[in-house]
Amino acid sequence: MTNIYPRESVEFQPVLVTLDNVAYTDAVEFAVIKPTARPTDADWFPATLLQGATGFLTGTYGVGIWKVWAQITDSPEIPVIDCGTFQVS
């Protein structure tokens, strides 16, 4: 089931970002875009850290379904991970 947030709400959306069974909180960026799009370089923004959790705030997105992508900016590899969707009502 997709998480649903009212458009007036600003809420922290925690996202557990793992690679090879290791959870990352540092060097994580997110892209939140329409589900039919792929992230571009301009879409990425730094993760928000709140009480040890990595995520982003929902308050800047219009009504609709949004897809969340994460990337771990670790050299030399920069893996990109599909983290699912959420909905703004």
Cβ neighbors of 58 (< 8 A, separation 6 or more) are 5, 9, 10, 11, 12, 13, 86, 88
CATH number at residue 39: 2.60.40
- The span from the CA of 80 to the CA of 89, in Å, is 27
Closest by Cα among 18, 42, 34, 30 to 67: 34
Does 80 have pLDDT greater than 80?
A: yes
Does 1 have pLDDT greater than 70?
A: no
**Domain range holding 37?**
3-88
Domain tally, the chain:
1
pLDDT at 51: 93
Closest by Cα among 43, 30, 3, 27 to 77: 27
- pLDDT tens-digit series, residues 6-63: 999 999 999 999 988 989 988 999 999 999 999 999 999 999 999 999 999 998 899 9
Does 89 have pLDDT greater than 80?
A: yes
Whole-prediction pTM value? 0.90
